[in-house]
Amino acid sequence: MVQFSDIAAQLEGQSIELPSWAFGNSGTRFRVFGTPGTARNPEEKIADAAQVNKYTGLSPKVAIHIPWDKVDDYAALGAYANDLGVELGTVNSNTFQDEDYKFGSLTSSNPAVRQKAIDHHFECIDIMHATGSKDLKIWLADGTNYPGQDDIRGRQDRLAESLQTIYDRIGSDQRLVLEYKFFEPAFYHTDVPDWGTSYAQVAALGERALVCLDTGHHAPGTNIEFIVAQLLRLGKLGSFDFNSRFYADDDLIVGAADPFQLFRILYEVIRGGGYGPDSVVAFMLDQCHNIEAKIAGQMRSVLNVQEMTARALLVDRQALTAAQESNDVLGANAVLMDAFYTDVRGPLASWRESRGLPADPIAAFQASGYQEKISAERVGAQASWGA
Ligand code: PSV
Ligand code: MN
Ligand code: MN
């Protein structure tokens, strides 16, 4: 049996990047419910994200989204983040809210529209140079709603060309990660719907182009841990957007819908070398729903990732391999389930305290008065998803 004390050291240095957009008013296409104290600008979003790191020690980076986090001076924004104990991380592009992209952005058949989308990515790369960000993340809303609406093959070719132009511009220490999503907002076909398409596109670009796996972007029943194993095997898993979903892509708290799936994913990450100081796989949240308290909600998500990481580290790999090699079906399954069913909440609380962190980060944050303070101070226009 592997004990918590055997794996505790491996929890050191775990880093789960937070999305800035989780701290503005975000939501669905129905209603965005405002909450008192919600951040009104990039600085306030970063300040709130820093609270998550202060109490959990798990989230030293904040991803930004352009133009939602547009400022005049990105180096100054980075310095502001550093003063709060965090760094700016991934830069996310946005080609899904502009009238010109109605029929596509990087895939558009209109060269002027395509160039506009490419120029937007160039701007994101300039921002990465100013902030020291390493990853450019591309998620495209491109697709069609009706069979015959456009030439789906031609769109792949144009996508490849556009991506190559963008990839050629990134610095030698920067990466391009291409996120896939099986549907929405397009309903007939999506230009980057699955890991295979993302893989085919990034493989053609070069070694600093990788796949981003958003856990909420698969059809129900998809074996996501298999995709993780395959991408790690191919050396092409660049990053995760962690969240959970019940029906479609709904950006809920990580591990809320299916904690066992989160465990299985993290087990394959660890098994495949995607976890730890030598790994190149970036962990990020893409949880930004509409009704939960924002700062505490992000804390819940990063703590859930940490908890499932600990359980996945507890898998007795030697015993598992032995059972697998002797085709001991029940034995092998039992080894995995033993780790999954191990309650690590107590040991994790003591471990946190031993590192000067609160045993219960959410309770400590809630008792700190920060939420009340921002609710009283922040009045007036608030940043929102789509602002
Ligand atoms: C849209 O589905 C989406 O949630 C993608 O997951 C992106 O990562 C995110 O928006 C931000 O662009
Ligand atoms: Mn995502
Ligand atoms: Mn999504």
Please provide residue 241's backbone torsions phi and psi, each rounded to the nearest 5 degrees. Answer: -110, 105
Burial class (CB in 10 A: 0-12, 13-18, 19+), 35: middle
Q: Give pLDDT, residue 25.
A: 85
Residue 266 scores a pLDDT above 90: yes
Average pLDDT over every residue of 22-31: 83
Tell me the percentage of the chain whose pLDDT exceeds 70.
98
Contacts of residue 115, defined as CB under 8 A and 6 or more positions apart, other chains included, come to none
ipTM exceeding cut-off 0.95 for this assembly: yes
Residue nearest to atom 2 of ligand 1 (CA): 249
Give the containing element (helix H, strand E) for 322. Answer: helix 317-325
Q: How do residues 3-16 score in pLDDT, each as one tens digit?
A: 999 999 999 999 99
CA 50 to chain CA centroid, Å, is 17
Dist. CA 374–CA 311, nearest whole Å: 35
Residue 283 scores a pLDDT above 50: yes
Q: Which atom of ligand 1 is nearest to the CA of 251?
A: 4
Dist. CA 386–CA 121, nearest whole Å: 18
Residues lining ligand 1, Cβ inside 6 A: 92, 139, 179, 181, 214, 241, 249, 251, 286
Confidence of residue 384 (pLDDT cuts 50, 70, 90): low
Confidence of residue 24 (pLDDT cuts 50, 70, 90): very high
What does 189-246 look like in DSSP terms, one character per residue? EESS-SHHHHHHHHHHH-TTEEEEEETTSS-TT--HHHHHHHHHHTT-EEEEEE-B-S
Average pLDDT over every residue of 107-136: 98
Q: Residue 350 is which amino acid?
A: S
Average pLDDT over every residue of 132-155: 98
Confidence of residue 379 (pLDDT cuts 50, 70, 90): confident
Triad 218, 219, 220: Cα angle to 5°: 115
What ranges do the domains of the chain cover? 14-307+368-377
Angle between helices 317-325 and 329-340 (to 10 degrees): 160
Residue 315 CA, ligand 1 centroid: distance in Å? 32
Range of lowest pLDDT (35-39, 96-100, 134-138, 311-315): 35-39
Dist. CA 62–CA 71, nearest whole Å: 15
Confidence of residue 168 (pLDDT cuts 50, 70, 90): very high
175 within 8 A of 138, measured Cβ to Cβ: no
Average pLDDT over every residue of 295-320: 98
Residue 381 scores a pLDDT above 90: no
CA 309 to chain CA centroid, Å, is 16
Q: How do residues 49-63 score in pLDDT, each as one tens digit?
A: 999 999 999 999 999
Average pLDDT over every residue of 264-272: 98
Q: Which of 237, 242, 307, 312 is nearest to 271 (CA)?
A: 312
Tell me the percentage of the chain whose pLDDT exceeds 90.
92
Structural fold of domain 14-307+368-377: TIM Barrel (3.20.20)
Q: Give pLDDT, residue 290.
A: 84
Q: Give pLDDT, residue 92.
A: 98
Strand partners, 282: 239
Q: Which atom of ligand 1 is nearest to the CA of 96?
A: 12
Average pLDDT over every residue of 331-359: 98
Residue 180 CA, ligand 1 centroid: distance in Å? 9
Residue 33 scores a pLDDT above 90: no
Q: Give pLDDT, residue 338.
A: 98
Q: Give pLDDT, residue 387.
A: 44
Residue 336 scores a pLDDT above 70: yes
Average pLDDT over every residue of 12-21: 97
Residue 386 scores a pLDDT above 60: no
Confidence of residue 125 (pLDDT cuts 50, 70, 90): very high
Average pLDDT over every residue of 105-121: 98
Residue 170 CA, ligand 2 centroid: distance in Å? 21
Q: Give pLDDT, residue 385.
A: 59
Residue nearest to atom 5 of ligand 1 (CA): 139
Per the listing, tokens 């980076």 go with: 61
**Mean pLDDT over all residues of the chain?**
96
Q: What DSSP designation does 80 have?
A: H
Q: Which atom of ligand 1 is nearest to the CA of 181?
A: 2
Structure tokens at 80: 């502001």
Q: Is the dihedral of CA 204, 109, 124, 86 positive or negative?
A: negative
Q: Give pLDDT, residue 31.
A: 83
Three-class HEC string of 1-64 = CCCHHHHHHHHCCCCEEEEHHHHCECCCCCCCCCCCCCCCCHHHHHHHHHHHHHHHCCCCEEEE
60 within 8 A of 85, measured Cβ to Cβ: yes
Dist. CA 82–CA 50, nearest whole Å: 10
